[in-house]
Each structure stands twice: as C-alpha cells, then as structure tokens.
Amino acid sequence: MIIIKTKQEIEKMQIAADLLVKVHRALRDEVKPGVTTLELDRFVEKFITDRGGYPEQKGYQGFPYSICASVNDEICHGFPSNRKLKDGDLLTIDMVVNVDGYLADSAWSYAVGNISDEAKKLMDVTKECLYRSIALVKPGVRLGDIGHAIQTYAEANGFSVVRDFVGHGIGTNMHEDPQVLHYGKPGRGIRLEEGMVFTIEPMINAGDWPIKMDDNGWTARTRDGSLSCQYEHTLAVTADGVIVLTEQGE
C-alpha cells in the first residue's frame, strides 16, 4: 500500500533530509586516501547524533553500521572496515537519517584522490541517470517511464543497470511502497500522485549487471569485478512536479 504524505509530513521529512545533506557535504572533506571507511562511519554517526538525529540503518534487520560504504566493485550495502581507502578508489556512501521519526535516504559517490577516466565517466553517467529520471517526475507519469530513462541512458553509454535492488517509498518507515525499478518500459507501472515520497537510486555498473553476495549476507558486488556507482535522492511528488528533498547543490 502506498502511503500518501501530507504537506506537514513532507516538511518533517525535509528536516531529516536537510541534516542528511549536511552530512554528505561534510564527507567531501573527509573522503581521501588513507582514511578507513570505519572512520567515516564513526564520523557520520557522531555528526548525526550531535545534531539531534539518528542513523536509521544502524540495527536495521541487524545491520551493524551507520552507513553503507561500498568501494569499487561493491554495488551496495558495503560494510565499513579498517581497510584504508587508496588513490583511485570509487566510494559510495549510503545512509538514512531519522529526525523525530521521519526519514530521509540518500547515497552519493565520491572519488578518492585521482580516479581513472572510466570511473569519472561512470560517476557522470550515473548521476545523469538519476537527474534525467527526476526530471520526469510529476503526477500522471508512470514508474516505467523513470526506469526506462535510466536504462536507456546507461546502456547508450556502454554501462548496465543493476536489477536486484530498487528505489522505494519512504516516510516513517525506511522501506515502503512503491518499488521503483531502474529499468523498464515506458507507459507501464503505477501512475505517480501528489504526496508520494520515494527514492530513485540507480546502481550502474561499468561491466555487466549480475551480482554476487558476500558471506556477510549484506554486501552485493559485481560478478565480473567491474566498477559500480550509485547516486540516490529522496523526492516528493507535488501538484505540478517534484521536490528533491536531499538535493545537495554545489
């Protein structure tokens, strides 16, 4: 069941989103060669809790960390560790912030030092996939239109779209209906309505899209060892368009 949010509920989610944006902006100065992803996890948890929020992922179905930190071929749900980031790594940090029971979710990818041309292109294309799909969002648009926009742009650039993970509704629960596929055919799927709040979070691989799972039961990585990248926003459908709650700006 899709839960339509009131204007007041969206405003409360915006408060959580504003804190999440501040965290991602602060991480721009923290992500660098020699830093461990476990140090980034601790930085994020302190940053959020010092400002009255809570890292919602911590403890969710037993997940032990405040962030997902996925490096290079890790697609999503990477465990923070004592492994030091090195020059050329591609890092995605995904997190959910809770402020007074209302949630916001956003993933952002970070270049560690000097990255390869392939990694730069992958980051650019993934971000463009996200924003091309967001540009379509308004009442009456079908979810298939969103997935189609992502898939066609990614594949036109020689990349692939991960099929196993999707965007999702969000509010006072981390995962609500609808599921938002990042591939598909236009004109299919449910129609968007004012008051829907959901994430779009394409995971784009430099190689093929099939995945494999680590023994921890959480971390997914590319089966062929290729790089993966992700960008994610939480957004709300308005009467005539969309509000991107987790927009970072420059």
Q: Is 145 annotated as a binding residue?
A: no
How does residue 250 score in pLDDT terms, banded at 50, 70 and 90?
low
Structure tokens at 90: 């591609």
Within a domain: 233: yes
pLDDT tens digits, 117-148: 999 999 999 999 999 999 999 999 999 999 99
Above 80 in pLDDT, residue 249?
A: no
Residue 1 lies in a domain: no
250 inside domain: no
Strands 228-230 and 90-99: unpaired
Partner residues linked to 177 by β-bridges: 2
201 is an annotated ligand-binding site residue: yes
What is this structure's pTM?
Answer: 0.96
Within a domain: 56? yes
Q: Is 24 part of any known ligand binding site?
A: no
**Residue 240: domain span:** 7-244
Structurally, the chain folds into a number of domains equal to 1
Share of the chain above pLDDT 90, in %: 99
Helix (H) or strand (E) holding 108, with range, is strand 102-111
Task: Confirm whether 206 is domain-assigned.
Answer: yes
In a domain? residue 101: yes
Tell me: is residue 168 an annotated ligand-binding position: yes
148 is in an annotated binding site: no
> Is 232 marked as binding a ligand?
yes
- pLDDT at res. 159: 98
Answer yes or no: is 228 within a domain: yes
Q: Is 105 annotated as a binding residue?
A: yes
From CA 64, how far away is CA 57, in angstroms rounded? Answer: 8
CA 41/CA 59 separation, integer angstroms:
14
Which tens digits make up the pLDDT trace of 64-122? 999 999 999 999 999 999 999 999 999 999 999 999 999 999 999 999 999 999 999 99
Specify the CATH number for the domain of residue 63: 3.90.230.10
Rounded to an integer, what distance in angstroms lies between the CA atom of residue 20 and that of residue 98?
A: 9
pLDDT of residue 248: 86
